Amino acid sequence: MSNAAHLTGLHTSVMPNEVLAHLDAARGGTFIDCTLGLGGHSELILDASPDTRVIAFDRDAEVIALAQERLVRFGERFRAIHDDYRSLKQHLEGQQFTGILADLGVSSWQLDTPERGFSFRTNSLAPPSQSHSTFPLDMRMDRSGGQTAAHFVNSLSERELADLIFEYGEERASRRIARRIVQERAKAPIETTAQLADLVIRAINQKGYWRIHPATRTFQALRIAVNRELDGFPQFIAEAVDLLAENGTLVVLTFHSLEDRLIKQAFRFQAGQCVCPASQPFCSCGTQPRVELLTRKALLPSNEETAANPRARSAKLRACRKRPTRPEE
């Protein structure tokens, strides 16, 4: 077992065959992995051909260190940048890439490392109400700066919290949860994952069988807000297309409907499809066809994959290819 073999079990890369096929990594070239994580997809790209190179981004310095350990065997063919992928153009302006991948969201390793404050359960055998982990309510992917989830929970108004939990968590009980947060924080600040998970259970007061833990949606909403996960997709997709060589491909994996809707719209815009509101009788979005859509409908993981890796369940893959520029363009 190599030094880094233990890392492969900590996050299973989603839709690996579909990602590789759409990137066409076997042709060689330089690829950008916008979301390195534990380096699973980067490793697949680097293994696909001795002529591939990967430049990878991640906001999380801890995962970069783990991925570097895993990918050390590729030497200078792999380079990691500790930054938000939304600043990729600042780092790579003027270069051209064969393919770009973004596998959005958090990694299983981040979710399963309780100290990071992304989740609330450590002991899966205990009843949910007795198994909450007590760790700081952090949730920042980049712990070198920015506000923690505890800051949001303790400082937003009841209305802001309700809107955030409804919009980013698609949680129908958002008002009840926000009210309970405000009541509880008046007694003492809410600082830990266990405090928040417990109060959500009490706010929802849902009896019987839980298909998903009642706090799941609230935690998702806070994580999205803390990391501004839904910001800037149109600009990011446009800049990724700028950096692609002709016939280069862009592949994006999303994990919830809010993300997928935004990516779908950004792809359509790049493909020259009007994204103006249906109620508007004229087009003002100024779209130009820069890419060809490779996935008219998003691709989903196979039943075999979701059985083996339940976290792949909500994945959707969209891909597009940069059109060659015609001489008169």
Ligand X SMILES: C[S@@+](CC[C@H](N)C(=O)[O-])C[C@H]1O[C@@H](n2cnc3c(N)ncnc32)[C@H](O)[C@@H]1O
Binding site residues, ligand X, CB under 6 A: 11, 13, 35, 37-41, 57-60, 63, 84-86, 103, 105-107, 141
Distance CA 12, CA 256 (A): 18
State in angstroms the smallest separation of the CB of 58 from ligand X: 4
Q: Are strands 244-254 and 97-103 parallel, antiparallel or unpaired?
A: parallel
Of the pair 11, 323, the CB lying nearest ligand X is at 11
Distance CA 180, CA 158 (A): 9
Find all residues with CB under 8 Å of 256, minimum gap 6, and list them. Answer: 105, 220, 314
Q: Are strands 316-322 and 244-254 parallel, antiparallel or unpaired?
A: antiparallel
Of the pair 86, 180, the CB lying nearest ligand X is at 86
State in angstroms the smallest separation of the CB of 5 from ligand X: 14
Cα→Cα distances 299→17, 153, 234, 293, 312, Å: 12, 36, 21, 12, 12
State whether residue 66 is helix, strand or coil: helix
Of the pair 58, 171, the CB lying nearest ligand X is at 58
State in angstroms the smallest separation of the CB of 12 from ligand X: 8
State in angstroms the smallest separation of the CB of 60 from ligand X: 4
Of the pair 32, 194, the CB lying nearest ligand X is at 32
Q: Are 14 and 298 in contact (CB under 8 A)?
A: no
The residue type of 72 is V
- Nearest CA to 34 out of 117, 77, 118, 97 is that of 97
**CA R_g for the chain:** 21
Q: Cβ-closest residue to ligand X? A: 37
State in angstroms the smallest separation of the CB of 147 from ligand X: 16
State in angstroms the smallest separation of the CB of 166 from ligand X: 22
Of the pair 37, 248, the CB lying nearest ligand X is at 37
Name beta bridge partners: 304: none
Of the pair 63, 173, the CB lying nearest ligand X is at 63
The residue type of 287 is T
